[in-house]
Amino acid sequence: RLERRGEALGARIQSWLARADFSQPPWSPTRRPAHLGSRAANRYLLYDVNPPEGFNLRRDVYIRVASLIKTLLKSEAWVLVLPPWGRLYHWQSPDIHQVRIPWSEFFDLPSLNQNIPVIEYEQFLAESGGPFIDQVYVLQSYAEGWKEGTWEEKIDERPCIDQLMYSKDKHEYYRGWFWGYEETRGLNVSCLSVQGSASIIAPVLLKNTSARSVMLDRAENLLHDHYGGRDYWNTRRSMVFAKHLRVVGDEFRRKYLHSTDEADRTDYNEDWTQMKVKLGTAVGGPYLGVHLRRKDFIWGHREDVPSLHGAVKKIRSLMEKHKLKRVFIATDAIVEETEELKKLLPEMVRFEPTWEELELYKDGGIAIIDQWICAHARYFTGTSVSTFSFRIHEEREILGFDPRTTYNRFCGEKERNCEQPTHWKIVY
């Protein structure tokens, strides 16, 4: 229910996007409090997420932590250390090294820095003088939970509920996963029970610890400060895909889908602060974009996922309705299902990387290329409650597509009322 509210909220922000001013980073020198001066950030915030969480949920957590950084910057100089990528559930390609991957492999760092100050983990190691994190806070829920109707934001240092994923070495330092950097150690580890938005933890960081480097583990326990608001969209727009991935996607569109920015009215400004579009101006390429989630969704969300035959029937219906002769499909389907899709849908086009391309771009880069191509389609339909589809929705908003061509989903075989997110109403 909350996911559906979020999608609906995204569909209703068009007037704000048209009016918003993205011309100046919120942390620029002219906006910093005078008492901070112009010195570089002298405290470091790091974070990590529950290991099973996927690539696109982690992108959402980044937006939450960015809000916290903006709150901290009002009082002190902080920089966000970007957590290296690796060991994600969907990154299952064999024989590909996918650990310690820097953010620059997937995103444009100068664009991120126009929103908040960020650095890669390797730069943190160089600046901080060694592989040590002064304080690690493991975020957790309250053991007693909360009763419906009595929600309140709160945070307390509490005994750890679950067994810590950290162990002491012979020097009494804490060892842990630390994004695959085995030499990294935590000097102190404690647990915080938290219930609330990301910035609720700011007073703890400003007043309760003097640690120069602080890590928040299980940061997904923090909620958005203002979901769908100005800060949310500033951060989301700053998450520009790395140019080499966009170039690959654009070339694929041109070669196989007769799609170019000029023809599609999807002109892209490299500087996101200068990119202002009105929703409904983008036309999109002459193809249908589809995200068809399979694998764990088949059993985990079986009420929301159609059979392959059901999906093909829906795809053909949309192609006929919108007079499109090609369909681009992004899917995590197994090989047998993909082969069946090709037989049922000869018009299907997919980005299928060579081994060399996969080694170069990695699974995360291939996912971004898929999303970029879907984001430029004349019409898009995705998978309900999938964060992969959510990120495509947002990308299409940024490019200027009409929400009616964006917020659409497949329906389960047994759904009696196949309501589409375009028509969902926000319930406060």
Contact by Cβ (8 Å): 57, 386: no
The distance between the two most distant Cα atoms of the chain, rounded to a whole number of Å, is 68
The token pair that represents 303 in the structure block: 């009420």
Q: H helices of 289-354, where? A: 296-300, 308-321, 335-344
Contact by Cβ (8 Å): 40, 291: no
How far is the C-alpha of 229 from the C-alpha of 235, rounded, in Å? Answer: 10
Active centre residues (catalytic): 53
Please give the span between the terminal C-alpha atoms of the chain, in angstroms, as a whole number. 11
How far is the C-alpha of 398 from the C-alpha of 277, rounded, in Å? Answer: 7
Q: Of 181, 148, 145, which Cα lies nearest the Cα of 161?
A: 145
Task: Centre a 10 Å sphere on the Cβ of residue 3 and count the other Cβ atoms it contains.
Answer: 13
How far is the C-alpha of 137 from the C-alpha of 189, rounded, in Å? Answer: 6
Contact by Cβ (8 Å): 306, 343: no
Q: Of 307, 264, 303, which Cα lies nearest the Cα of 287?
A: 264
Q: Of 243, 214, 274, 253, which Cα lies nearest the Cα of 76?
A: 214
The token pair that represents 207 in the structure block: 């007043």
How far is the C-alpha of 52 from the C-alpha of 194, rounded, in Å? Answer: 20
Determine the angle formed by the axes of helices 55-72 and 355-375, rounding to 10 degrees. 70
The token pair that represents 15 in the structure block: 């007037």
Contact by Cβ (8 Å): 364, 101: yes
Q: Dihedral (C-alpha) 176, 182, 186, 191: value to the nearest 10 degrees? A: -20
